[in-house]
Amino acid sequence: MDSDSVRGVDRRRLLGWSGLAAAGVVAAGAQLADARPGHADPPPTGSDIPPDTRPGGAYDRYVAKLAAEDKFSGVVLLSHRGRTVLSRSYGMADKEKGIRNHQGVAFNLSSAGKPFGAVAILQLAQQGKVRLWDTVGTYLTGFAKEIAEKVTIHHLLSGTSGLNTPEEDLQRIFQSREEVREYREQWARRAKPVAAPGTPTNHAGAEVAIPALIVEAVTGTTYWDYVQEHVFGRCGMTGTAFYTRPQWLTDEHIAHSYMLQADGSRVDAVRNLDKGSPDPYQLGKNPGRNFIDPPGDGGFATAPDLVRFAHALGDGTVLDRPYAELLTGAKIPHAPQAGGRDGQAAPADATFGTYTMPVKLVNGQWLIGRAGVNPGSVASWNIYPYTGWVGVILGNYDGVPFQEIIQREIQAITGRP
């Protein structure tokens, strides 16, 4: 177990930033140009930093205890108005080579990388190259008439397409980027409408895959290359990429994902592709089976890079302000989830769908973010636009109390009991 010293994240880039709220990030359609509508954003003081977020505070102690019990391996980072308040790294990025986790290590994002695809589409929309009300058939061929003529880009991004995607081939191990892309395209074309467009859909894979295909059709380049240049590149996310399996095996700056087995042991998912066979479901859960994460999903990122992404959403670097507002504006109310206070969505007072991610009301403030879970990895990034906080959790263990870690972060920042 080790811990990084507390230090700034790319201070030359971020010290001029006075917080996401002051920079104009909008959640759920509420304008936050001055942190709170009609109020100036006060200069940061010591009182802006809740004790639970500080080194040695409740959140720090909680994560350290998990790591000491081998229940967490990875990185946590809390940033306030561009300055790192807490940065901790625990466990090993590669046990075989003896490489420890640290801030410069990239972790598998799983679904936490899906908003990059929405940003790509909105970049093209602000350039006038796509329109959100256009249907799938405006840009792509080979889809069923009910999809091509009725399902719009807005339906896909907002999770209201009414589509169902067939099961994936869980026994297949991919050997190239081209093979992954071809399979994903054909898989998306087999999507079927199961409800009218505008109906909320639960995690339909086509809602991620089809926008990525539209990005490729409009730009003439692969989704991976477009996002690498126009999202990661613009944000200064130098440690973030859609790494391939060979890179995952050899690059010391990529954390290996350690899958929990039935006997309590952990196995390196990349070095043991067939672990769990002959059960195809176990093989299919192995993140190493894909040569590269499929277009529209996943990728790898470092914790400081996700802070940079959060800032880029707020300062106009990656999207013009109206389109950043469009990205994070609440669109679909989510039903209460079990376990929340008074039957409300845990750990929030209310949760809404936006474009590929939820926004939440917690203790009277908006929270924007996305989480993802893969066998052997967990990832979460949260933006607190009213107060200028960004929280990142990246881990290379599964079977950890992930939701509780996120809730402890929210509690430390917002004071939510």
- 191-214: per-residue pLDDT in tens? 999 999 999 887 789 999 999 999
Q: Tell me, what's the pLDDT at 279?
A: 60
Amino acid (1-letter code) at residue 86:
L
Q: Tell me, what's the pLDDT at 29?
A: 37
Residue 403 confidence (pLDDT) above 70: yes
Q: Tell me, what's the pLDDT at 38?
A: 29
| pLDDT, tens digit, 9 for 90 and up, residues 320-378 | 999 999 999 999 988 765 544 444 445 567 889 999 999 999 888 899 999 999 999 99
**For residues 295 and 280, which has the higher predicted lDDT (pLDDT)?**
295
| pLDDT, tens digit, 9 for 90 and up, residues 231-245 | 999 999 999 999 999
Q: Tell me, what's the pLDDT at 33?
A: 29
Q: What is the mean pLDDT of the chain?
A: 86
Grade residue 391 by pLDDT with cuts at 50, 70 and 90.
Answer: very high
Q: Tell me, what's the pLDDT at 201?
A: 85
**For residues 288 and 100, which has the higher predicted lDDT (pLDDT)?**
100
- How large is the average pLDDT for residues 167-184? 92
| pLDDT, tens digit, 9 for 90 and up, residues 310-331 | 999 999 999 999 999 999 999 9
Residue 20 confidence (pLDDT) above 70: no
| pLDDT, tens digit, 9 for 90 and up, residues 212-225 | 999 999 999 999 99
Least confident of 184-188, 343-347, 366-370, 392-396: 343-347
- How large is the average pLDDT for residues 63-78? 98
| pLDDT, tens digit, 9 for 90 and up, residues 116-165 | 999 999 999 999 999 999 999 999 999 999 999 999 999 999 999 999 98
| Spatial distance between the Cα atoms of 195 and 10, rounded to a whole number of angstroms | 47
Q: Tell me, what's the pLDDT at 284?
A: 67
| Rounded to 5°, angle at Cα 295 from 290 and 301 | 75
| Spatial distance between the Cα atoms of 366 and 347, rounded to a whole number of angstroms | 13
> Under the phi-then-psi rule, with left for phi > 0, alpha for psi from -120 to 50, and beta for the rest, what region is 203?
left
Q: Tell me, what's the pLDDT at 342?
A: 42
Percent of the chain with pLDDT over 90: 73
Q: Tell me, what's the pLDDT at 415?
A: 87
Grade residue 31 by pLDDT with cuts at 50, 70 and 90.
Answer: very low
Q: Tell me, what's the pLDDT at 39?
A: 31
* Beta carbons of 56 and 395 less than 8 angstroms apart: no
